[in-house]
Amino acid sequence: MSKTLGKTMAIFVGGITALAPERTAAVSSVAFKALIAATLACLLTACIAGTFFTKTSVLFG
């Protein structure tokens, strides 16, 4: 695991467990899956947005 990924997961787990301290174990068990899901959602959004910004796009005529 890279240093950046580890730090990102630590920030995520720390922030969520501050909101719900009784759910620390549950948050820790799904932290990696949530990070992967968020990354894939961002990539999918970028792919969809990229289809609109081509030379033959509806937006550019």
| Structure confidence at residue 45 (pLDDT) | 94
CA 10 to the chain's CA centroid: 14
| Structure confidence at residue 1 (pLDDT) | 56
Query: Phi and psi dihedrals of 58, rounded to 5?
Result: -65, -30
Name the stretches of the chain with pLDDT < 50: none
| Structure confidence at residue 58 (pLDDT) | 64
CB 31 within 8 A of CB 9: yes
- In terms of DSSP H, where are the helices of the chain? 3-19, 24-52
Q: How many residues belong to the chain? A: 61
| Structure confidence at residue 43 (pLDDT) | 94
| Structure confidence at residue 61 (pLDDT) | 58
